[in-house]
A and B are shown apart, each in its own frame.
Chain A
Amino acid sequence: MELSNKPVANPVVVLREEFDDWAVLFNPDTAEAVGTNPVGVAIWKLMDGKRSLQEIVKEIEDRFADVPDAAIDEVAAFVSRLVESGFVGYDLEGFSE
């Protein structure tokens, strides 16, 4: 996955933020649901198609204490998983019909 990629959250996916710091991403088109934590929620909210993966990681590091050095890999893996299941796409920069 390219760090310059700009992921964009699928607008049909619903984010349910529960009590006690957990959340569910639910795709009503496929009925798939993914559980996540506050960091995952923050990543989700940052995937607006304007920020690159690298910028997202930077913001996560700024916002959360104790982010491990391997954060970039973890964020990339999380986003990849969401891409594979159709929860996230990529903004195709320069794409024209």
Chain B
Amino acid sequence: MTGESPLTNKPDIRIMSTPRSVDVEITSRCNLRCRYCYYFDNPEVEYRDLPAEEWLKFFDELGKCKVMDVTIQGGEPFIRKDLPLLIEGIVRNKMRFSILSNGTLINEEIAGSITKTGRCDYVQVSVDGSKPETHDSCRGEGSFFRAIRGIRTLQRHGVRVTVRVTVHRHNVNDLENTARLLLEDLGLARFSTNSAGSLGTCRRNAGNVLLTTRERQTGMEILKRLSVKYDGRISATAGPLAEARLWSRMEDAYAEGSSPFPNGGRLTACGCPSNKIAVRADGVIIPCSMLPHMELGRVNHDSFEEVWQSSATLNMFRQRHKIPLTEFEFCTDCPYLPYCTGNCPGLAYSLTGQVDHPSPDACLRLYLEDGGLLPKAEDKAI
């Protein structure tokens, strides 16, 4: 679909007829209270769960919209006793699914029921360290052993397991052992990394949890080394490893006087609104879990397809990529501007109160001004 003008509410980037993927916050409850949780403590969110019948009705609509996969997240999805019923509703509608979990509530029964569907892409379990001291430092006592037990249970049932490691102040020096645990001892094919960000509960604990510039540099160096050692089995779309990769490219491009990056110099960081969308636990449709305040409609009340194609808020958000970074005082005279994408809009909103603003959290200039260093040239090929 192409549209000519924001006045017609039509986006002028190519979007799919309906989203290909939907992130569903199936519950607003969780058995843990992690210190860096992005989800809780957001004053703009109503923490209330839709009953199963509502979700099932909505999954029927997703099926009619030919959505291909659903990512079940929360809160903690396994806290819902009716999760197998809800998964059945997804499968019945010819969709695949994946689950994001803290791993602590996974048992033989639920693992077996996931396997039986034949439609699970993966279950992602959060593991933040190689031992209770580091993992539990932010997630709470006992959560490490229970998460590892959850992973082993899934593996026994043949469910594909992935792990997300959230890097923070208390585990940055345990990354080497964490990689060994995950890739060698547990035999996972790969794991992904990000870092604690200034959202939700984490805002309250920022001073105690977020990486300092020095720690961020340490995280980059360690993860970069591990990424070489484990030959591509560690991935990242945010956090120190992603920053090490992107920022090195930006620095090289600047040093060599290269042409601007195709997506550089504008707020292009987020490509999600062209192919996916999210739903809060209370049934409110939002562009992404990182932007829970941007209410686009309500499931079983508004037509999902119509929200996707015609929501004025969503289509304005889809115009964000046109906004040049030169518009922001924050970016004035920045030499990296032609190579910069402005970073995550969710973090931008949390830190500046504006969605249409570059995020200071992943600003290369700020990092360098604060004394941060990037990986050495010979180590950049990662």
Contact = CB atoms under 8 A, between A and B. Distances in A.
Nearest to B16: A18
Interface stretch (A24-32, A39-47, A89-97): A24-32
Interface in A13-41: 14-20, 24, 26, 28-29, 31, 33
Contacts of B66: 14-16, 26
A17 B20 CA distance: 11
Nearest to B20: A16
Nearest to B95: A28
B1 A28 contact: no
A71 to B, nearest CB: 27
Interface centre among B2, B18, B94, B119 (most CB of A within 10 A): B94
A14 B65 CA distance: 10
Interface string B48-89: 000000000000000000101000000000000000000000
A18 B94 contact: no
The secondary structure that dominates the B interface is loop
Contacts of B17: 16-19
B140 interface: no
B68 A28 contact: yes
B44 to A, nearest CB: 33
A12 interface: yes
A28 B92 CA distance: 10
Contacts of B14: 19-20
Contacts of A14: 66, 68, 94
22 contacts: A14-B66, A14-B68, A16-B16, A16-B18, A16-B66, A18-B16, A18-B17, A19-B1, A19-B2, A19-B16, A19-B17, A20-B1, A20-B2, A24-B68, A26-B66, A26-B68, A28-B68, A28-B91, A28-B95, A28-B96, A28-B119, A33-B68
Given A16-B18, A16-B20, A19-B17, 15 more contacts: A12-B94, A14-B94, A15-B66, A16-B16, A16-B68, A17-B17, A19-B1, A19-B16, A20-B2, A26-B66, A28-B91, A28-B96, A31-B96, A31-B121, A33-B68
